[in-house]
Every structure is written in C-alpha cells, then in structure tokens.
A and B are shown apart, each in its own frame.
Chain A
C-alpha cells in the first residue's frame, strides 16, 4: 500500500512540477497566435524529456551518483566544463525567470508592482532552499502545482469548437497571417520549454537526495512515463484555452495576467484563484528546482559536498552557491527587466544548450562501468540518438530564428 502511495505521489508531483513559467508563457503565446497547430511540438518535447529523464534517473538509481559527477569523470574536465557552463547559464536564466514569475503571480493578487515584491520572493526562496526538506519542497509545491488542472476544466467550460481544435492540430492549419519562420521560432521555443535542461539535473540529483536504488527503478519510470505526459496535457490545455479566447480576438499574450484570463472567463473567481495559486506553486517550485540545480551542478563538477541530505554546515559551499545565485537573480530583476522577456529568452537559450546537456547523459547511460546490466537497451539508444539529432537541429536553428523573426514578432 505504501509503495502504491509513493507511486501516486510521485506521479502527481511530476504532473504538478512539469509546468513552469516557461511552459505557462510559451504555451499561452503559442495558443493565442497559432491555435493548436504547434501541439505536436509539445508531444515531441514530452517524449524527449521522458527519454532523457529516464536515463538520468536510472544513472542516479544504479550508480548512486548524479549527472555532473559522472559527466566530468567519464568525459573529462574539458567536456564536463563545457557541459557545466552551457547548462548553468541557462539554468541561472531560468532561475531569474522563475523568481520573476513568483513576483508576477503575487502582483495579480496584491497589485503591488512585481519589482517591489522581488526582494521578498528572493528571501523566501532562499529560506526554503536553506531550511526546508527536499521531500517537502518537491511534494508540497508539486501537489499545489496540480491547481493548474484548472486550465483543462476552464477549456471545457469555455465550450470551444472541439472539432476545430482537433483539426487545428495539423501544422497546415497555421494561421495564414503568421510566417513559417515565426512558426518555427515558436516551435523551437516550445521545445526548449518542454525539454529545459534543469529538469534532468534536478531529477537525477533528486534521486541521489532520496537515495534511490535499483529497486526504485519501477517507481522512477512510473513518475516519468505517466507524470510527465500528463504534465504535457496540461501544457496543451493552456495553449488550447488561450487559442479559444484570444485567437478570435487577435490578442497576443505578453503578461501572466493574460495567461490566466481564459480561466477567469471559463470558471470565474474561484477557478481563477485556484489557477493563480497554481502559478505561484509552479513558479516557486521551479525557482527552488532551478536554484538547487545550479548548486548541484557546480558542487558536483568541483567535487564538494552537496544536497539537502547533508547538513548545511557540511555543505557550506553548496549553500553559499544557493545564496549567491539568489542574490544575482534578485539583482537582475531589480533592474526592472521584464520577467516575461527573461522567460522568452530563457526558453530559446534552453534550446541552444540542449545538446550540451543531453549528449553526455546518453554517453554515461551506455557505460557498463556505472550501470552494469542497466545500461541503455536498443530502444533507449534509438530514441536517444534520434532525439540528439532533433535537439541539435533545434539548437542550431534557435539563434538564427530569434534574429530573423525579432524574437517572434514576425
């Protein structure tokens, strides 16, 4: 019974934890401009994150060591450093966006400008990172993130033309006013948002924090293969509800308030309050995950004690990194930079950094010295190689598309 409860809890937190500020904003923007014609990218992204999260979770469970720890050892300090820099910068950018997202969510209920809320949010995030247990962070915020299911209910209440939404799933149904370059840019951004690098680092380091062993592989796979796809369904619901309300009205989504408006129209105040709670939980949870991920990656690369399972005094370097990145994030946001713009940039650069993150995982997951009988099978390698090709194309296309389309303006 306890084991079933653990599986259920893991799946629920994986669903609630899947969506972050990048998914919220990018899916709503895409829905408002392209309807459901880019939903196939979410599907591709979800399959990709499942493939690599399963690999990194398996590495953590079998070897008892996290990704960066092994990447440096297996591929050497130079490749490890390249992997560290690329992933760290993107994760830091995402961390800034998530803290900004928490401030934006609080602004919606307080009407206090988000810049004034940033210092309080930063202190709250740092306190949670310092004091809270790993399982509390993951479970409480992950379960609260389930409030975003409100988007799926709101979509049903908005009474869309279901046939039209289904017909719009084809790329051929892209609105005529939008160019193919803009379509491709948003496709890459959506892919970057779904496969953002911190998710696998957090997942594998979390496995070490929770002391997974080979016996936990089944639970881990259930979390990944059920939780993440259901999280992807939430992403599509966000896009579809934005498409239903905003596409006919010609509204482009540029604020978090707009992201929640379809829920307000569909469900009213209570539904909106639940979804705003979901905004808070999703962004706060992701802020904790990205903050921890920066600490994990640096500490694992340089080889000093890390993690929430170690006393703060014994992992002083790890906790110092958490403090420094929180101060950096707050400092950047206090300049008045728009958190939504930071989010847009972070998802594009996530796409750029994808090969740096995922190639080493594929290599380590094929090494019998670490994984023994649990090395990648044929299917995992086939999917891994196919996805490596796709993410390389997305990575190479991201910056040219960003320049050509002026960040998706067309």
Chain B
C-alpha cells in the first residue's frame, strides 16, 4: 500500500512540475494544486498506513485497544487541506484579476512591475 501511494505521489509531482514549467500562469496554478495534494499524501503516507482500524476509543476506556491507525497525520493533512484551499482560492482570483487587468496569462509578458530596460527609454 505504501509503495502504491509513493508511486502515486511521484506521478503527481512529475505532472505538477510539468504543469508549473509552463509560461501560462493558469497551468502553473493547476500544477500547484496537484503538488500540494502530493505533499498532503506524503504526510499521510509518512505517518504509516494501518488498514481498517479506526483510532476510536471504546466506551468506558481511556485509550484505544490494540493497533489502530495513526490519527495525527490525518489531523495534519486536514489542516493543510483547509489552509491550501484558502490560498488557492486567493491565487485563482489573483490570476483571474491579472488576466482582466494585464490582458495576458503569459508570465513572460507580465512586465508591468519590472519594465524591460529597452522599453523604458
């Protein structure tokens, strides 16, 4: 199971790096979404996988009995997903705004803040 997830993470990272190398900023954002999911899966996998043993405490006891799944990585991933969602919502709006006000999605043509030397004169 770990091997399968590791390969999945690898594929996700490869695909997202490919997307992020594009000049189109929208593609870049999609790549970013993919790679953040790869990072989340990394945390999840790094916490060791336990199948079909939810970390529940039986009634009347203080701790779960026997081997149960590690609950901490899930909490971490959940936090990271929520944070990532907020950031990507912002990034998408920003890219949309960039498209409407700069008229391009090509990062090479985004030179308003840093005009070319030859264009300045």
A and B interact: no
